[in-house]
Structure 1
Amino acid sequence: MNNQPDGPEIAKELFHVSPDGKQIEIYQNAEGVAAIEGCPVSTQPDKVFLYPDLPDKLWRMYQHAYKFVDVIKSKTPKIILMTDMARCLLMENGPCQDFQAIFND
C-alpha cells in the first residue's frame, strides 16, 4: 500500500492464497487501485507459486496471512450452545479448538 499525499491508500499488488493454502497467486497493477474501490485484480494472475516453492519475501507474507486467519478462526464460533445456565462456544480453529463458556448469573 502506498499513501497518496491527498488521497486514499493505493494497492499495487494483491497476494491471494487458495482455500487449501497450497497455491499462491500474485496480481499486480502498476497504476494502483484505491483500496476502497476494490482489489487490483486482472483476469489472470501475474505469478503463481505452489506452497513449497515460495520465495523468501512471499514466505513471510504467507506466514502473516496464516497467523491472521488463525486469529480470526479462534474468535469465530463454529457451534453455539445456549442454555438457561450458560452460553458455550466452540471456535473454528483446530484440531484443538478453543472453547468458551459464559455462565449466566
Structure 2
Amino acid sequence: MEFTYVKFEVLIPEEYIHKLRDELNDAGLLNVGHYDHVLSYVHVKGYWRPLQSSTPYRGTKGKVSFGEECRVEFTCSADRVEVAKRIIKNIHPYEEPVIHVLPQFTI
C-alpha cells in the first residue's frame, strides 16, 4: 500500500505551539483543502527521567519527573516529512523531541 499523507504527533510544551504552527504553516505544511493553519492539540501528562548524560529542559538528572505537555497533531504530504521534522527540531526546546510520523493510507 502506498500513502500520500502522513500524520505527525509531537509532544511539546504549550508555549511553543503558536511558533510551531506558524512556521509549519509558512512552509505550506498545514493546508487541508481550502484551509490553512490546520493543527490540533491536547494536553497530556507524562513521566521521564533525565539520565546523567542529558541536558534536561525540565526535570533533574537521575530523578523521575512528572509533568504536562501537549500532543500536537497535523497531516501533511508524505514528500514533506523531512521539512516538517527540520522545522519541529529547530523550534522544539527538548534535546530529544518525541516525533511520531504515521502513514495515512488512502482508501
- TM-score normalised by length of structure 2: 0.25
Q: Which has the higher contact order (CA 8 A, sep 6+)?
A: 2
| TM-score calculated relative to the size of structure 1 | 0.25
